[in-house]
Amino acid sequence: MKQPEIKSTNFITDNFLLENETAQALYHDYAKDMPIIDYHNHLSPKLIAENKPLANITEAWLKEDHYKWRGMRANGIEEKFITGNASEEEKFLKWAETVPYTLRNPLFHWTQLELKRYFNINTILQPSTAKSIYNQTNTILANKTPAQLLEQLKVEVVCTTDDPCDSLEYHQKIAKQNFFTKVFPTFRSDNLFSINQDDFTKYLNKLALAVSFSINSYSDFISAIDSRIDFFHDNGCRLSDYGVSGAFTIVDFTIDDVTTIFQKKLKKETLSSQEINKYKSSIYLHLGKRYHEKNWVQQYHLGPLRNNNKRLQKQFGSDAGCDSIGDYAMAESMSKLFNELDETHQLAKTIAYNLNPSQNEVFVTMLGNFNNSDIAGKMQWGSAWWFLDQKDGIERQINTLSNLGLLSRFIGMLTDSRSFLSFTRHEYFRRILCNIIAKDVNKGLIPNDIKFLGKMVQDICYYNAVNYFNFKTN
């Protein structure tokens, strides 16, 4: 049966998502032209440094986008057209076939926003328009470098996600180029925690090469970590990140405990779950103290259940698009870790993101326990993340933060993306933010003072992040 067509031009009008005149004024007069600080994403520093045009729209859109992969699988598309060996055009056509079926999924909004903002395309992507859009976008991309795509949407700062062993050679190359966008590394420590993995000792060898000394003890390991933190700091890093897969558990330990546990791992002995938790707790605490010392921001991404589909994982590897929301307890361990750091005045500026929406109130109230006069909004409940960064999830995050914290001190949106075309998500967030505030004005719940509210909107979209991160952009 022939697939039905959407008989419409692009619905992304100037007033998309803006339901009244107040919302329109807040967005167009205050939010729209704010620069973007994207303080967490997975863009490739190599592609930015080399600054060559992307090969085609398939590379830009589909190569590493597990959101789209999940949508295509849900639509019954064969894997060869998703992560397999089909041609770039064939993959794009299968994505175009899927787009009409994404109606009411954020993928539909994101797709049309990106087509409009980057390519000035007002046509709905679907099978009947796919070849024309494929050719049109490829023609434009052939003449646009990654740096130009970032500048096009006024992306002032990008913070990539980088392993402690990374040489940062591409960040160093970027720093020597006169790009509009400043690109900084983020110290992503996941592999430092992977003592329960078989390849942990291989990672230790890689780390030893990076620091130019052998790692034969827990003390050596800590020295290596400290050396890499210093190296990252010297290369502009001001953020750390933890991508915590599975449970987040903080337990008591002694240095003697952890020293013995580390030696057992070097001897390839089996570790108990309690030993693993003691080891991880020691690393969380040590890193937290170092981040405070460096005046970094620490980020915790908590709550995914990773690699659920083992067949897909074996076929493709991690990040195949078979992760989901987990249902882990979080509050007690968050409290324990933050308390231990706070008691010695070593709790760094912190952003915590939850993936399970049932924990919205848990996270915002837990973080609120540890604010102080170091900086306004020191403890940030992160923006709606991963499965939650759609209209409903963003609205719930904004409303929960408003009810239980200070929305006016929020540092705003990020992309958490591998795509150079994803920065319209800031526009998406800004429109939703302006609409929520405007609806309260119309209901008489807050004062109808457009200048005051406009300044609040600009703070959330840009200025709060400028003050919070204090990047050296000159």
Closest by Cα among 269, 250, 403 to 331:
250
Q: 């933890």: which residue's tokens? A: 242
Please check the confidence at residue 447 and state whether its pLDDT lies above 90.
yes
Instruction: Read off the pLDDT of each residue in 374-399 and give the average, rounded to a whole number.
Output: 97
Residue 458 backbone dihedrals phi, psi, to 5 degrees? -65, -35
The percentage of residues in the chain with a pLDDT greater than 90, rounded to a whole number, is 94
Could you read off the pLDDT of 424-443 as tens digits, one per residue?
999 999 999 999 999 999 99
Residue 323 CB partners (closer than 8 Å, separation 6+): 66, 304, 305, 306, 307, 308
**Cα-Cα-Cα-Cα dihedral of 339, 345, 347, 349, to 10°?**
140
- Give me the residues paired with residue 304 across strands: 325
Residue 226 CB partners (closer than 8 Å, separation 6+): 290
Instruction: Read off the pLDDT of each residue in 349-366 and give the average, rounded to a whole number.
Output: 98
Return the SS3 of 173: helix
Please check the confidence at residue 265 and state whether its pLDDT lies above 80.
yes
pTM of whole model > 0.85?
yes
- The pLDDT value given to residue 408: 98
Could you read off the pLDDT of 298-312 as tens digits, one per residue?
999 999 999 999 999
Helix or strand holding residue 324 (H, E): strand 324-325
- What is the residue-averaged pLDDT of the chain? 96
Please check the confidence at residue 34 and state whether its pLDDT lies above 80.
yes
Please check the confidence at residue 474 and state whether its pLDDT lies above 70.
no
Q: Could you report how far apart the first and last alpha carbons of the chain are, in Å?
A: 58
Cβ(85)–Cβ(92) below 8 Å: no
Closest by Cα among 330, 373, 382 to 353:
382
**Tokens (6 digits) for 225:** 């970590």
Helix or strand holding residue 137 (H, E): helix 127-141
- The pLDDT value given to residue 257: 97
Half-sphere exposure of 470 toward its Cβ, with a 13 Å CA cutoff?
9
Could you read off the pLDDT of 74-95 as tens digits, one per residue?
999 999 999 999 999 999 999 9
- The pLDDT value given to residue 1: 59
Instruction: Read off the pLDDT of each residue in 409-416 and give the average, rounded to a whole number.
Output: 98
Instruction: Read off the pLDDT of each residue in 31-50 and give the average, rounded to a whole number.
Output: 98
Instruction: Read off the pLDDT of each residue in 262-272 and give the average, rounded to a whole number.
Output: 97
- The pLDDT value given to residue 472: 77
CB atoms within 10 A of CB 84: 12
Return the SS3 of 200: helix
Could you read off the pLDDT of 452-473 as tens digits, one per residue?
999 999 999 999 999 999 897 6
Instruction: Read off the pLDDT of each residue in 44-56 and give the average, rounded to a whole number.
Output: 97
- The pLDDT value given to residue 225: 98
Instruction: Read off the pLDDT of each residue in 138-142 and give the average, rounded to a whole number.
Output: 98
The percentage of residues in the chain with a pLDDT greater than 70, rounded to a whole number, is 99
